[in-house]
Amino acid sequence: MKRTEFERCTPESVGIRSEAVSRFLDRMTDGFTEMHSLMIMRHGKICGEGWWAPYAPGLRHTMMSQSKTYTGTAIGIALREGILSLDERLVDIFPGYVPEDPGEN
């Protein structure tokens, strides 16, 4: 499968004021929430992203229930871009992961 990188841009170029992003970050980092990372996307473009130490891009760590949100988002993007159809079966998409006899599991 071909990997497509999202275009990066400034918040202003997609109608978001940088000051609003800054205020949001101030509120999120005031001690109420432990931030790991943030990515802001609008109109299919990434207009803000960042990581809080010790977290970094590519560093795997436990995300608990957020994984469901990211999976749902990825499926939505794949549907919109025509990469995936809700009529497809997982065994057809990932044939290398199908057990020899799936009926035994």
DSSP string covering 15-79: T--HHHHHHHHHHHTTTTS---EEEEEETTEEEEEEE-TT--TT-----TTHHHHHHHHHHHHHH
Does residue 54 sit in the same domain as residue 69? no
**pLDDT the model gives residue 62:** 78
Task: Quote the pLDDT of residue 10.
Answer: 97
Over 60: is that where the pLDDT of 8 sits? yes
Residues 35 and 79 reside in one and the same domain: no
In a shared domain, residues 46 and 2? yes
Same-domain pairing of 71 and 28: no
Same-domain status, 68 and 47? no
Q: Report if residue 104 sits inside a domain.
A: no
Residue 102 lies inside a defined structural domain of this protein: no
For residue 7, is it within any domain?
Answer: yes
Question: Does one domain contain both 36 and 75?
Answer: no
Q: CA-to-CA distance for 33 and 36, rounded, in angstroms? A: 9
Domain assignment present for residue 105? The answer is no
The verdict on 55 and 69 lying in the same domain is: no
Confidence band for 93, pLDDT divided at 50, 70 and 90: confident
Taking residues 88-94, report their average pLDDT.
85
Range of the structural domain that residue 25 is part of: 1-59
How far is it, in rounded angstroms, from Cα 54 to Cα 79? 34
Please give the average per-residue pLDDT across 85-105, as a whole number: 81
Count how many domains the chain has: 2
Q: 27-70: per-residue pLDDT in tens?
A: 888 877 788 889 999 999 999 999 999 999 888 877 777 888 88
pTM (predicted TM-score): 0.60
Residue 34 falls within a domain, yes or no?
Answer: yes
Mean pLDDT, residues 4-13: 94
